[in-house]
Structure 1
Amino acid sequence: MYSIREVQIKSGLPASTLRYYEKEGILPDVGRDEGGRRVYTDKQIDWIRFLMAMKDTGMTIEEIKAYLELNAQGEATIHERRELLVDHKKKIEEHMAQTQSNLEKIIQKIAYYDRVVMGKF
């Protein structure tokens, strides 16, 4: 079991974010110790890491909730959960392709400026 402080250190998330995720229902089943303080399991730490990956790649709280609702329904929804993640993966790939294209434009502009600075334009 981990305290909220230990989870902050392991995840890099502030306690306020952990409490917010719990309030929003995307960090479920957080236990309490005898003093009423939050305690987290290894399974929850793994979920937090996965949650961060989804959030960092643009998945909304609502989409994460939908995923969790499907997950709570058990094995019968495995295909739907997979499809949700496949769709998210496609969005990420599209975003990465656009980012790569934008990066190439920036690299070209830097190369232009390098030629100007060196007097080779």
Structure 2
Amino acid sequence: MTYSIGQVAEKTGLTTYTLRYYDREGLMPFVKRNQAGRREFTDANLDFIDLITCLKDTGMQLAEIRHFVELAMQGDATLETRLNIFKRQQQAVCNQIKQAKQHLAKLDYKVRYYTAACDAGTEAAVSGDCELPGQPIIIDNQLRVKKVKAE
């Protein structure tokens, strides 16, 4: 089965502009054109576009993706080189995950900190070290602001 660029955009979530841009940038030399010059995508093309999207979403630059596509078009002679590209990208994603976990830990702490400050009515009552996200948050009850009930 073949798909139009609009159908591919709908299936992939990419815009037709992005798909045309990727084609111009040499990321989709595998896409054939019909007699009218329109792109005709296959299921295999959709799988490859999904891979391109994966690589892009994990931080790989378009030039690197183009290089990978060129290697893939050369066939089995480039298998080892392509494997090494994926190993490097895999390591890059592992590093991104590690950094994201560190950021999440800091954000978790800040949510706890500001929740405590809101409950206390002031930041002055709250103590704890933001650089140590695992540390407890301490509320000094003497500095707590009494909330006045609205009538």
Cα displacement (A) at 1:29: 2.8
Q: Does 1:44 align with 2:45?
A: yes
How well do the aligned residues superpose, as a CA RMSD in angstroms?
A: 1.3
Cα displacement (A) at 1:106: 0.9
TM-score (norm 1): 0.93
Cα displacement (A) at 1:69: 2.1
Cα displacement (A) at 1:111: 0.3
Q: Residue 74 of structure 2 aligns to which amino acid in structure 1? A: Q
Q: Residue 12 of structure 1 aligns to which amino acid in structure 2? A: G
Give the equivalent residue in structure 1 for 2:93.
Answer: 92
Q: Residue 86 of structure 1 aligns to which amino acid in structure 2? A: K
Q: Residue 29 of structure 2 aligns to which amino acid in structure 1? A: P
Q: Does 1:13 align with 2:14?
A: yes
Cα displacement (A) at 1:115: 1.4
Secondary structure class of the residue paired with 2:45: helix
Give the equivalent residue in structure 2 for 1:108.
Answer: 109
Secondary structure class of the residue paired with 1:118: helix
Question: Higher relative CO (CA 8 A, sep ≥ 6), structure 1 or 2?
Answer: 1
Greater share of residues in helix: 1
Cα displacement (A) at 1:72: 2.2
Q: Residue 119 of structure 2 aligns to which amino acid in structure 1? A: M
Give the equivalent residue in structure 2 for 1:3.
Answer: 4
Aligned positions, number? 121
Give the equivalent residue in structure 1 for 2:149.
Answer: none
Q: Within 1, Cα distance between the matches of 2:72 and 2:35?
A: 29
Please list the CA deviations of residues 18-53 of structure 1 after superposition, one character each: whole Å capped at 9, or x if unmatched. 111111111113222232221111111110111111
Q: Structure 1 stretches (4+) deviating beyond 3 angstroms? A: none
Larger Rg, first or second structure (1 or 2):
2
Q: Within 2, Cα distance between the matches of 1:11 and 1:58?
A: 18
Cα displacement (A) at 1:105: 0.4
